[in-house]
Amino acid sequence: MNESRDSEFNEKRNSDLLDKIKAEFTELGHFLLPRLKSPYSLIGLAIILIAIIISIFPQILTPYSYTEATGIFPGAWAPPSFEHLLGQARYGRDVLARIIYGISDALLFCSLSVLVGLVSALIIGVPINYLNKQLNISAEIILAPIFMIPLPLLFIYTFFIFPGFFLYFFYGIYLIPVFIYLIVKENLSIYEIGQKLIPYIPLIIGFTILIYTLIGFLGFVSFSGIQIGYDIASARINFIDAPWAFIFPNLAIIILLFGFFLLYAGLQKSPEEMQELKRA
Residues 100-121: b if buried by 16+ CB within 10 A, e if exposed? bbbbbbbbebbebbbebbbebb
Quote the mean pLDDT of the chain: 81
Distance (Å, whole) CA 237 – CA 215: 17
Q: In this predicted model, which residue has the larger pLDDT, 49 or 170?
A: 49
Q: In this predicted model, which residue has the larger pLDDT, 60 or 191?
A: 60
Name residue 3's amino acid: E
Nearest to 167 by CA among 119, 118, 124, 105: 105
Distance (Å, whole) CA 146 – CA 128: 11
Lowest mean pLDDT among 59-68, 126-135, 187-196: 126-135
Identify the burial level of 146 via C-beta atoms within 10 angstroms of its C-beta, where 0-12 means exposed, 13-18 middle and 19 or more buried.
middle
Distance (Å, whole) CA 254 – CA 247: 11
pLDDT at residue 104 in the model: 94
pLDDT at residue 28 in the model: 84
Length of the chain measured in residues: 280
| H/E element, 61 | none
Give strand pairing partners of 88: 94
Distance (Å, whole) CA 86 – CA 79: 7
Sort residue 88 into left (φ over 0), alpha (ψ -120 to 50) or beta.
Answer: beta
Q: In this predicted model, which residue has the larger pLDDT, 11 or 210?
A: 210
Whole-model pTM: value is 0.83
Identify the burial level of 14 via C-beta atoms within 10 angstroms of its C-beta, where 0-12 means exposed, 13-18 middle and 19 or more buried.
exposed
Confidence of residue 181 (pLDDT cuts 50, 70, 90): confident
Q: Is the pLDDT assigned to residue 155 strictly greater than 70?
A: no
Give the model confidence (pLDDT) of 203-256 as tens digits. Answer: 999 999 998 999 888 877 655 679 999 999 999 999 998 999 999 999 999 999
SS3 for 173-192, per residue? HHHHHHHHHHHHCCCCCHHH
C-alpha radius of gyration, the chain, whole number: 23
Q: In this predicted model, which residue has the larger pLDDT, 38 or 129?
A: 38
Q: Is the pLDDT assigned to residue 78 strictly greater than 70?
A: yes
